[in-house]
Amino acid sequence: MRVKLYREHKYVSFALSELERLIAKTDFTDTAAIAEIQSEWLRIKEMLEGHAYHEEHNFHTLLEKKGSTIHHEAHDDHEHQEETLKKLQCLLDAVQTSPDPIETGYQFYLAFRRFVGDNLLHLHEEETKLLPELQRLCTDEELRAIEYPTYDLMTVEEMQEMVQVLFPHMNFSDKCAFLTDIKLAEPQKFLQLWEKANYFLTAEEVSKFQHSQTVSS
């Protein structure tokens, strides 16, 4: 099976859906509830900005080097996302000074729900158009190498935190791919990470991964 990028989209989709549910049931007359939304919104906003930056400077750059232009629509989506995030921030900030916080909060919810829908389409386009193009133009080694600089900078603790966040939303194939890439990129860090495997894998998954590595070698 070819190296597959965009696996973290499963977490992105989950995180946005969870925030939408939280916003949907928020009492926008409650200062503490608004503070919770602000905190979660900031976390998600920073995640989306970092995710878009990573794709622009790694996936899109690689496609450009290969002479492809298929990523232009995704690039435009990222620019539109940047503007939308600013508008959503303004809407959320307005709740606290609005004479009608319930209605203003509802308008924020509607705008955020629209954003979630648009983002799902964006993720779909990336996985059904950009991914096949990347696989067509690049070797598996080139695709894996995209993440190597990131793993070089990460500590073992950061790697553990990453997989503990991502893995609950992934199947075993996804988990295996992430761990294999880390092992290939940073063998020594992987050994330290593997010592803590029980924090992010079930006993059955530990056994399956070990078996998969034996078979592949």
The H-or-E segment that residue 192 falls in is helix 187-194
Other CB atoms within 10 A of residue 112 CB: 22
**What does the alpha-carbon distance between residue 155 and residue 160 come to, in Å, rounded to a whole number?**
9
Asked if residues 5 and 138 have their Cβ atoms less than 8 Å apart, the reply is: no
pLDDT of 216 higher than 70: no
Classify the C-alpha dihedral 138-143-144-149 as positive or negative. positive
Contacts of 148 (CB under 8 A, 6+ apart): 185
Overall average pLDDT of the 18-47 stretch: 97
pLDDT of 78 higher than 70: yes
Overall average pLDDT of the 160-175 stretch: 97
pLDDT of 74 higher than 80: yes
- The predicted pLDDT at position 211 comes to 85
Q: Give percent of the chain above pLDDT 70.
A: 99
pLDDT of 217 higher than 70: no
Give 59's DSSP letter: I
Overall average pLDDT of the 110-123 stretch: 98
Contacts of 109 (CB under 8 A, 6+ apart): 20, 23, 24, 26
**What does the alpha-carbon distance between residue 185 and residue 200 come to, in Å, rounded to a whole number?**
19
pLDDT of 215 higher than 80: no
Contacts of 194 (CB under 8 A, 6+ apart): 179
Q: Give percent of the chain above pLDDT 90.
A: 96
pLDDT of 52 higher than 60: yes
pLDDT tier for residue 169 given thresholds of 50, 70 and 90: very high
pLDDT 10s digits, 121-165: 999 999 999 999 999 999 999 999 999 999 999 999 999 999 999
**What does the alpha-carbon distance between residue 16 and residue 14 come to, in Å, rounded to a whole number?**
6
